[in-house]
């Protein structure tokens, strides 16, 4: 994969191939290790390690900021944080941080995380076809251990059984870079926060909303 990197980037940038076709030609890229390695080649930063370290570093401060939010947004966040307080699983805690962040930024986590019961697996597969970018989760209980977690891009389930929703988000973020995709408009603030605050990529110019959150983080 290292030797073919320049060829792959040229194909992505100039030809803009369909995701399904590109996955057939470069299957090794669509694995956890492949995404991490490609992200490192593009940005020189370790994707998974840096994301998790930064998210954990800011978690307590973010929880304080989230708890101060009032109104309808504050109530939605409160419901998610209540789940976090009842569980000591680190992946669920990270998932709560991310979902609370999305809500805090006035975006909708349900537009990204598509959750289904095992009995609705057929509905999940049907929805995949119409999903531009998302994370499909099959589990029996809310915030319980999932039966399956997959990443979907352009109606194609490009990754399956990735272990947890937070890992799926990390890999989706990495694939956006690997495939030279744009952030989804309905989650642009969330992805900008991850890009510029957590991953320290192109962090010189910040949207006003992200700048205000950054100031609160470092107060």
Give DSSP secondary structure letters for 70-106.
Answer: -HHHHHHHHHHHHHHHT---HHHHHHHHHHHHHHHTT
Residue 203 scores a pLDDT above 70: no
> Residues of the chain with pLDDT > 70: what percent?
98
Residue 46 contacts residue 200 (beta carbons within 8 Å): no
pLDDT of residue 118: 84
- Mean pLDDT, all residues of the chain: 92
Residue 219 scores a pLDDT above 90: no
The answer for residues whose C-beta is within 8 angstroms of residue 215's C-beta and 6 or more apart is none
Structure confidence at residue 86 as a pLDDT band (50, 70, 90): confident
Residue 78 scores a pLDDT above 90: yes
pLDDT of residue 143: 64
Query: Measured between alpha carbons, how far is residue 163 from residues 82, 143, 191 in Å?
Result: 23, 13, 21
8-36, pLDDT tens digit by residue?
Answer: 999 999 999 999 999 999 999 999 999 99
Radius of gyration of the chain (CA): 17
129-159, pLDDT tens digit by residue?
Answer: 899 999 999 988 766 678 899 999 999 999 9
219 vs 206: CA distance, rounded Å: 17
Beta strands in the chain (DSSP E): 113-116, 133-138, 148-153, 156-159
Residue 54 contacts residue 199 (beta carbons within 8 Å): yes
First to last CA, the chain: 43
158 vs 155: CA distance, rounded Å: 9
Residue 171 scores a pLDDT above 90: yes
Residue 121 scores a pLDDT above 80: no
Residue 105 scores a pLDDT above 70: yes
The answer for residues whose C-beta is within 8 angstroms of residue 158's C-beta and 6 or more apart is 19, 23, 30, 150, 151, 152, 175
Mean pLDDT of 74-97: 89
Residue 195: count other Cβ atoms within 10 Å of its Cβ: 19
Q: What predicted TM-score, i.e. pTM, was given to this entire model? A: 0.94
Residue with more model confidence, 204 or 165: 165
């Amino acid at each position: 994969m290292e030797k073919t990197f320049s060829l792959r980037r040229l194909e992505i940038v100039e030809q803009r191939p369909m995701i399904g076709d590109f996955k057939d030609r470069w299957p090794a890229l669509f694995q956890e290790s492949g995404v991490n390695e490609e992200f490192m080649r593009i940005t020189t930063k370790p994707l998974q390690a840096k994301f998790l370290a930064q998210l954990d570093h800011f978690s307590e401060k973010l929880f304080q900021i989230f708890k101060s939010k009032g109104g309808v947004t504050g109530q939605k966040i409160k419901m998610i944080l209540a789940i976090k307080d009842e569980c000591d699983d680190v992946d669920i805690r990270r998932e709560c941080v991310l979902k609370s962040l999305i809500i805090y930024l006035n975006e909708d986590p349900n537009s990204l995380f598509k959750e289904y019961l095992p009995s609705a697996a057929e509905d999940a597969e049907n929805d995949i076809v119409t999903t531009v970018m998302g994370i499909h989760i099959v589990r029996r209980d809310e915030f319980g251990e999932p039966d399956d977690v997959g990443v979907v891009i352009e109606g194609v389930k490009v990754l399956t059984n990735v272990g947890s929703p937070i890992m799926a988000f990390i890999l989706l973020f990495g694939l956006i870079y690997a495939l030279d995709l744009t952030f989804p408009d309905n989650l642009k603030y969330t992805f900008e926060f991850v890009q510029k605050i957590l991953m320290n990529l192109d962090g010189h110019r910040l949207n006003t909303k992200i700048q205000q959150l950054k100031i609160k983080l470092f107060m």
